[in-house]
Amino acid sequence: MKDLHEFAESVVDQDTFLIFVRELCNDRERSIKRESKSPSSPYEADAGSWENTTIETFFESAVAWAEDSSFGTKGTFPEHELKDNNPWRSFAEFLMAGKVYE
């Protein structure tokens, strides 16, 4: 089974973007369920590795990632830079950053 990063990396068009977004939603729902059973420390990511658990912090972090990395085209880790100009993939990475970027 693909993990969420693999779904993001496989985005090439509208259809694969929507598949990724559905998987992102499923990932969040699973994380909420795990958190309700065993809460994580408020000082670390939650059970599903979500750093940003409100809509406000999610979008704030996604925007910070986009600004810091020039929307994924430059960054600290060149192996993770987006090499093509596919807007569907860029937006998938933007949403992924909302989950994990601090």
Tens digits of residue pLDDT in 36-94: 898 888 888 888 899 999 999 999 999 999 999 888 888 755 656 787 778 999 999 99
Domain range enclosing 96: 4-100
CB under 8 Å, gap of 24 or more: what pairs does 46-54 form?
49/99, 49/100, 50/99, 50/100, 51/99, 51/100, 51/101, 51/102, 52/98, 52/99, 52/100, 52/101
Q: How many domains does the chain have?
A: 1
In this predicted structure, the answer to whether residue 29 has a pLDDT above a threshold of 70 is yes
Return the closest-CA partner of residue 71 out of 59, 85, 58, 57. Answer: 85
Higher pLDDT, 2 or 93: 93
